[in-house]
Homo-oligomer: A and B are copies of this chain.
Amino acid sequence: MTSIKDVAREVGMSTATVSRALRGLPRVSEDTRLRVLKAAERLDYVASPAAAGLVSGQTRAVGVVVPFVTRWFYGSVVHGAEELLRERGYDLLLYNLAGDQQARHRVFQTHLLRKRVDAVLILSLTPSAEEIASLNRLDRPVATVGAVVPGFSSVSIDDLATARTAVQHLVDLGHRRIGYIGGDLEGQLDFSAPLDRLRGYREAMAAARLRRNPAWEVTGDFTVRGGLAATRLLLATTPRPTAIFAASDEMAIGAVHAVRETGLRVPEDVSVIGIDDHEMAEFFELSTVAQPVHEQGRVAAQLLLQAIEHGPAFEPAVLTVPTRLVVRRTTAPPRH
């Protein structure tokens, strides 16, 4: 592997000058810089971040912790983050927990502590006290997407307001019996969105003076399958709801399917609305409250890069991005 010495020898200068020239630092004559750049190109020289990091303390890499890479939502956030990071010359280290507690422990207690990243981005999960302690010991900027953690920067939607928007849409259409399907609250205590969306649902119901029914609040996996199962339960109640608010589009897709398999029609018999504007939402003609997914990844990465550049004095920023009601064809007024 060619090293900085090879380049220095090639141009007949010291490694210090080469280093300065390559990084665009001042106090290098234009002529020298050009010759260095050319020589580096010719020799296929790329500086080793390991060596540079050892002395500068910067790794030019960011760690990203994801609950499930296979899900469109997380993939999209990662996409947004990776895009900006690469533009700025940073690498992205991916840690996929995939619901595995042991993996989670290992990531927080070992991998992230290896001084290998300049910053950490955490998607959706709320770190435990112990994990927060680890992250603080790391002494590097941390940001989250989809969860607000005291002391960390974050980018997220207002889950409460978003849920209210969805339910209010159903109320406005004239629905009075509205069911909710959402994520488990136990077992996954570390996701805050499901809880807030449930609370938003309840608030909107109360504000519209609608009666709540415990049997109309069903939880399960945040997946198509989970939505399918939850909706089957919901439809078995009497009277059954005329509309369903699903805490995610994937659950909503499952809900639409469940309604149809019961012999009922969407939206004539049962309306369905979700949250996300999943890539398949338009395909399913699903009404939903859209959130900017890719953008949240970019913005969060941006926040981290700023924090890296501004040093420890940088104040954590808590950003909320807007959501937007998208009415398609799974919601309509109830039949009387």
Which residues of A are interface residues toward B (Cβ below 8 A)?
1, 44, 46-51, 53-54, 59, 61, 64, 68-72, 75-76, 78-79, 82-83, 86, 89, 91-96, 98, 103, 106-107, 110-111, 113-116, 137, 139, 224-225, 228, 254, 257, 279-280, 283
The answer to whether A94 and B111 touch (CB under 8 A), given A59-B50, A103-B86, A280-B224, is no
* Contacting residues, chain B, for A113 (C-beta < 8 A): 44, 46
* Contacting residues, chain B, for A228 (C-beta < 8 A): 283
Which one of A110, A116, A228 has the highest number of Cβ atoms from chain B below 10 Å of its Cβ?
A116
The answer to whether A110 and B46 touch (CB under 8 A), given A75-B75, A79-B96, A86-B95, is yes
* Contacting residues, chain B, for A106 (C-beta < 8 A): 86
* Contacting residues, chain B, for A103 (C-beta < 8 A): 83, 86
Contact assessment for B96 and A82 in the assembled complex, using a CB-CB cutoff below 8 Å? yes
In the bound complex, what is the Cα–Cα distance between A70 and B72 (angstroms)? 5
In the bound complex, what is the Cα–Cα distance between A29 and B277 (angstroms)? 60
A224's nearest neighbour on chain B, judged by CB, is B283
Contact assessment for B82 and A75 in the assembled complex, using a CB-CB cutoff below 8 Å? no
Chain B: minimal CB distance from A164 (Å): 28
A282's nearest neighbour on chain B, judged by CB, is B225
Which one of A69, A95, A106, A110 has the highest number of Cβ atoms from chain B below 10 Å of its Cβ?
A69
The answer to whether A83 and B70 touch (CB under 8 A), given A91-B116, A228-B283, is no
Contact assessment for A96 and B114 in the assembled complex, using a CB-CB cutoff below 8 Å? no
Contact assessment for B96 and A283 in the assembled complex, using a CB-CB cutoff below 8 Å? no
Contact assessment for A82 and B69 in the assembled complex, using a CB-CB cutoff below 8 Å? yes
A63's nearest neighbour on chain B, judged by CB, is B91
Instruction: Pick the residue among B1, B53, B75, B111 that contacts A69 (CB under 8 A).
Output: B75
Instruction: Pick the residue among B69, B75, B96, B114 that contacts A49 (CB under 8 A).
Output: B114
* Contacting residues, chain B, for A257 (C-beta < 8 A): 283
Q: Rank and list the top 10 A-B pairs by shortest CB-CB distance, nearest first.
A: A70-B75, A50-B50, A94-B94, A69-B75, A48-B115, A46-B113, A82-B96, A50-B53, A92-B94, A70-B76
Other A-B pairs, 15, CB within 8 Å; known A70-B79, A86-B103, A91-B116: A46-B110, A46-B115, A48-B54, A48-B114, A49-B114, A49-B115, A50-B116, A54-B54, A69-B69, A69-B78, A72-B72, A79-B98, A83-B98, A93-B93, A254-B283
